[in-house]
Amino acid sequence: KMSQKQMKEAFVSNLNGTSVLEITQGLCFPAFCILCRGFLIILLQHSCSFSHTWKTRFFIDFVILILPLVATLTILASFIPLELLTVIVFGAGLLYQIYQRRTCYARVPVQKILEKFLTISVESEYIPAISSFRVITNVFTAVAILAVDFPVFPRRFAKTELYGTGAMDFGVGGFVFGTAMVCLEIRRKDYIKGSRFYYFTKSLYTVWPLIFLGIGRLVIIKSIGYQEHITEYGVHWNFFFTMIVVRMITLLLLIIFPLNKSWIVALSISILYQLALDFTPLKRLILYGTDGSGTRVGLLNANREGVISSLGYVAIYMAGVQTGLYVHKNRSHIKDLIKVACFLLLAAISLFISLYIVQVNVEAVSRRMANLAFCIWIVASSLMLLGSLLLGDIILSFAKFLIKGALVPCSWKLIHSPVTNKKYSESLVSETERKEPSLCLIIALNRKQLIFFLLSNITTGLINLMVDTLHTSTLWALFVLSLYMFTNCLIIYILYLQDKTIKLS
């Protein structure tokens, strides 16, 4: 008879994933939820004195952003297209309501309003779409790492064994991509003014939290005999170690190559790595170890998946750097932003086409090896999500444009082109907006990403030790999952409000 631990390991092993299309639809769903949340906040402000207490704000954000994701990964997993349709229709209805109640340009035809809208500029200390991207991948991962242990979680969403695209496989890649988009090199343009060696050593210092987390996770898991999926990274390796290796290699690459050539580096690494998999014994080494019989003796054999697949994640990281650089560069005019969003979506579509070609002619997606197809898939899905979020931000800006003084946390601030009227351009950013603290779950989770990830890992472990996840009813599983997400989000939200920032991320 199998032990509880072995049963849990078997439950998450030997799976083949789902279609790329289903995962893409599932990823675009939260982007529309974020847009609807913006519309709702505008309407609530406009129609009634919307209470600004942090409790209401938290509740609205939790119900609109977190619960739908929990449902999508569990009971509504078979109805993702329907969910998408519902949220689009609902959003369109809300936008129509906003348009009907518009306070700016009340007697002007639509074309004129749109012309005026295209002339405005926006500003924000950070790019809302990037923050939302990082939060969605993080929340998605947090829900999945616990949900996967329950029968209500569709097996096709779990991590794949050798080939295939599981929804959880996107989580890791999306996390790497999201981290790359806001890396120090992009935020501090003058980073290489001093000596490159000094910069490198200084940046290595930022890796210590990951080392601490990686070793901490390893020690805890081994000491309590927690169930593990060995073929995921190996015996001792985990996601934090992959991040350390990726960060150290990319630090060197970004010192050697100019930032705006990151995409060439990404492409070269993923292609060379794929050639190595196809024409050298590397693939055999990953799958069967040095002696070809799948042993785990010696450090490299024990952790071969984790060590070697880091190369694929380096390529994904470099692609993220290039994307972050591009999005940060063009960001003031609405017209420019529309071009950026269209470019991201077109790039995503062309990558999905090349993914199809690579899967047919070279090799299928494999998270275990992080091969060429895997890198293309992660980057394509990431661009798709980022493009949808950016498009959502533009539509939300239009809704804000229609109603004077509308405030939505984590969105662009609108400024009219300074040429027309200097005084008016100042007055668009209202007094309340300057004083109003942005009480917003997205900002809180974005600021405290690593703490949230760590917290989710700890609470997942605790729940697994307390609850027999394999034999739970659907209702009980949903209750546990919602409570788990509620607790994690609330802790992070309160931490953010207190602003006792442990500078980890």
Mean pLDDT, contiguous 10-residue spans, the chain (505 residues)? 70 75 92 94 78 81 94 92 95 94 85 90 88 94 91 88 89 93 78 68 80 83 73 80 92 90 96 96 88 80 88 97 90 89 97 96 93 97 97 94 86 70 46 54 90 90 86 92 96 84 44
pLDDT of the residue at 106:
81
Per-residue model confidence (pLDDT) at position 427: 46
Q: What does each C-alpha distance from 469 to 66, 101, 181, 316, 483 come to in angstroms?
A: 21, 49, 36, 34, 15
Instruction: Report the alpha-carbon distance of residue 354 to residue 481 in Å, rounded.
Output: 37
Q: Cβ neighbours of residue 280 under 8 Å, at least 6 residues apart?
A: none
pTM: 0.90
* pLDDT given for residue 424 in this prediction: 46
pLDDT of residue 85: 95
Contact between residue 440 and residue 131 where contact means Cβ atoms under 8 Å apart: no
Assess if residue 344 is contained within a domain: yes
Residue 448 has φ and ψ, to the nearest 5°, of: -120, 50
Q: What SS3 class is residue 332?
A: coil
Beta-carbon contacts of 272 under 8 Å, excluding residues fewer than 6 positions away, are none
Residue 133 and residue 315: Cα distance in Å, rounded? Answer: 19
Counted domains in the chain: 1
Residue 134 CA to residue 123 CA, distance in Å, equals 20
Residue 478 three-state SS: helix
Q: Which domain holds residue 164?
A: 4-498
Cβ–Cβ < 8 Å for 141, 177: no
Q: Are 289 and 304 in contact (CB under 8 A)?
A: yes
Domain assignment present for 504: no
Quick check: is 503 in a domain?
no
* Partner residues linked to 413 by β-bridges: 123
Please report, as a single letter, which amino acid is at residue 60.
I
In a domain, 430, yes or no: yes
The DSSP call for residue 159 is P
Query: What confidence score (pLDDT) does residue 408 get?
Result: 87
Q: Which positions ≥6 away from 436 have C-beta within 8 Å?
A: 52, 407
Q: Does 492 fall in a domain?
A: yes
